[in-house]
């Protein structure tokens, strides 16, 4: 019976991270990009939990960090959505490519 090892979890979180990164780099919709960022954050959360569980089972640091990250992710989502709404008001679009006036 195969047990779920640290390697499995790390594999999962890495996959999740790169899926998020790929999404962030390729999707043009800002909401989707925000979701990709959340994915990456959550992959980190999985890492924290996994390391905490397998390497330092007697401590709770990873769990704390995870909680902390969830809070940050919530705040970030709030800020990001606020920005997106503002951008939408200015450009009538939430396509990231339309908001490129910060150049040269």
- List residues binding other proteins (CB under 8 A): 21, 24-26, 28, 33, 96-97, 99-104
- Residue entry with tokens 């940050």: 72
CB 29 within 8 A of CB 52: no
Provide, rounded to whole angstroms, the least separation between the CB of residue 4 and other proteins: 27
Provide, rounded to whole angstroms, the least separation between the CB of residue 36 and other proteins: 10
CB 62 within 8 A of CB 101: no
HSE-up of residue 54 (Cα within 13 Å, Cβ side): 13
d(Cα 36, Cα 16) in Å, to the nearest integer? 9
The nearer residue to other proteins, 18 or 64, going by C-beta atoms, is 18
The nearer residue to other proteins, 46 or 96, going by C-beta atoms, is 96
- Residue entry with tokens 């809070």: 71
The nearer residue to other proteins, 67 or 82, going by C-beta atoms, is 82
The nearer residue to other proteins, 21 or 63, going by C-beta atoms, is 21
What DSSP state is assigned to residue 96?
G
Provide, rounded to whole angstroms, the least separation between the CB of residue 6 and other proteins: 20
């Amino acid at each position: 019976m195969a047990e779920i090892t640290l390697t499995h979890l790390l594999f999962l979180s890495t996959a999740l991270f790169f899926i998020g990164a790929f999404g962030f780099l390729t999707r043009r919709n800002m909401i989707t990009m925000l979701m990709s960022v959340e994915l990456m954050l959550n992959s980190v959360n999985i890492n924290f939990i996994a390391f905490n569980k397998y390497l330092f089972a007697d401590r709770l640091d990873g769990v704390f960090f995870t909680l902390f990250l969830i809070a940050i992710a919530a705040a970030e989502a709030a800020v990001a959505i606020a920005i997106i709404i503002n951008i939408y008001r200015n450009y009538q679009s939430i396509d990231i490519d339309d908001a490129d006036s910060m150049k040269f």
